[in-house]
Copies of this chain bind each other. A is one copy, B any other.
Amino acid sequence: MSWTLTPADLPDLARGAALLGTGGGGDPYIGRLMVEAAMREHGPVTVLDLDDIDDDAFVVPTAMMGAPTVMVEKIPRGDEAVLALRALERELGRTADATMPIECGGINSMIPLVVAARTGLPVVDADGMGRAFPELQMETFGVYGVPGSPMVVAGDHGEHVLINTGPDNRRMEWLARGAAIRMGGAALIAEYAMSGADAKRTAVPRTLSLGLAIGRGLREAREQLRDPVSALAEVLAPTPYTHLRVLFAGKVADVERRTVDGFARGKARFVSFDGTSTLRTSFQNENLVAEVDGVVRCIVPDLICVLEAESGEPITTETLRYGQRVVVIGISTPDIMRTPEALAVFGPACFGLDEEFHPVENTGESRVPER
């Protein structure tokens, strides 16, 4: 079933995408402004369910890559992602039938909408991360056999780089990251071009509509003076992101953050309101692990989201500040992201963490909010 996304949907989608960004993915605010501008000029965007696309359709995902700390300051010119898509079309000798997010969290929920508005292509309601991840090989597309390359990285001077690493998606990430760094720390990309059949087989479905539903749920809870976390749990329960656990409530006590090798890396410490308990998180763009009083409560690829305590507004790692009053939640990822093949690509070991993956529904603590 196809539907139309209009400018009125964008604030909710941006809020939901920030939550699915699990701390990273880049602030969707700038992406939202870009989509609004593109829609003003070119009209709204058609969203297709995976079921709506032909098996032999040609789907070209588009995205932004870079450190979120850079992405909030280095605003794209606007046409880079379209240029990347066009260059990839030329390389592959085929015209795209649709674009798709690689990542439903953060700014990358928005970039394919910019492309869709500017080109008139529909956008597929699915993605390759089901959240945000920092690296390009960390996509379900690649996990289930779609090669990421050839891919294109486009910069804001009209330049582009085409990368071909055959089936080696890690090497593709390595070379693309180098290009993005030299383009100023952030760049626009087109990658994992695939058939409709491959999209159906490998993508995490309905993550654009999920972002929209999450954002709407948080907004309505705020309007109705309801607890945002309970509202969020209600939105998620019927989706493949079934389980929500409140991991912690308290204040930001310390943030260590550096922009290094093209990533925002660091850790944060939170102290409970009564001062008796401590949460520690570490992140590479996205939150990777949440440890309460020395016990791991949630770990990648499950989602760790820091929300403003009163409003439920998601806080990204690059905007964490001393003294913020927050509630930190864990959300279970869909089964397609928890298979052994998936954990081999974006499980804890892929981030240098020693801990094994344990589903948050078994390790997170309270099911209902406690504030």
In the complex, what residue of chain B is closest to A154 when comparing beta carbons?
B164
* Cα A182 to Cα B161 with chains together (Å): 14
In the complex, what residues of B have CB within 8 A of residue A164's CB? 87, 159-162
Chain A interface residue count, CB cutoff 8 Å, equals: 22
| Listed stretches A6-14, A130-138, A165-173, A239-247; interface member | A165-173
- A168-B159 CB under 8 A given contacts A178-B178, A178-B179, A179-B178: yes
* Cα A166 to Cα B174 with chains together (Å): 24
Chain A residues touching B, majority SS? mixed
Query: Counting CB contacts under 8 A, is A340 at the interface?
Result: no
Q: Which of B161, B168, B177 contacts A161 (CB 8 A)?
A: B161
In the complex, what residue of chain B is closest to A181 when comparing beta carbons?
B178
Evaluate contact between A165 and B175: CB separation under 8 angstroms.
Answer: no
Query: Counting CB contacts under 8 A, is A94 at the interface?
Result: no
- A163-B161 CB under 8 A given contacts A178-B181, A179-B175, A181-B178: yes
* Cα A157 to Cα B178 with chains together (Å): 17
* Cα A57 to Cα B159 with chains together (Å): 27
Taking the closest CB of chain B, its distance from the CB of A166, in whole angstroms, is 6
User: Sorted from nearest, which 9 A-B pairs have the closest CB atoms?
Assistant: A162-B162, A178-B182, A159-B165, A178-B178, A161-B163, A175-B182, A160-B164, A174-B182, A159-B171
Query: Counting CB contacts under 8 A, is A352 at the interface?
Result: no
Taking the closest CB of chain B, its distance from the CB of A121, in whole angstroms, is 23
Q: Assembly of this chain: how many copies? A: 2
Q: Told that A159-B165, A160-B164, A162-B163 touch, could you supply 10 new A-B pairs with CB distance under 8 A?
A: A157-B165, A157-B168, A159-B168, A159-B172, A159-B175, A161-B161, A161-B163, A161-B179, A162-B162, A175-B183
Q: Which of B158, B161, B166 contacts A159 (CB 8 A)?
A: B166
In the complex, what residues of B have CB within 8 A of residue A183's CB? 175
Residues of A within 8 A of B (CB): 87, 157-166, 168, 171-172, 174-175, 177-179, 181-183
In the complex, what residues of B have CB within 8 A of residue A178's CB? 178-179, 181-182
* Cα A183 to Cα B176 with chains together (Å): 12
Taking the closest CB of chain B, its distance from the CB of A187, in whole angstroms, is 10
In the complex, what residue of chain B is closest to A90 when comparing beta carbons?
B91
* Cα A160 to Cα B179 with chains together (Å): 13
Evaluate contact between A166 and B161: CB separation under 8 angstroms.
Answer: no
In the complex, what residues of B have CB within 8 A of residue A166's CB? 158-159
Q: Which of A164, A174, A181 has the most CB of B within 10 A?
A: A164
Taking the closest CB of chain B, its distance from the CB of A267, in whole angstroms, is 27
* Cα A161 to Cα B152 with chains together (Å): 9
**Can you spell out 14 A-B residue pairs with CB atoms less than 8 angstroms apart?**
A87-B164, A157-B168, A157-B171, A159-B166, A159-B171, A159-B172, A161-B164, A161-B175, A162-B164, A174-B182, A175-B182, A178-B179, A178-B182, A179-B179
In the complex, what residues of B have CB within 8 A of residue A177's CB? 182
In the complex, what residues of B have CB within 8 A of residue A165's CB? 157, 159
* Cα A164 to Cα B168 with chains together (Å): 22
In the complex, what residues of B have CB within 8 A of residue A163's CB? 159-162
In the complex, what residues of B have CB within 8 A of residue A160's CB? 163-164
* Cα A87 to Cα B175 with chains together (Å): 17
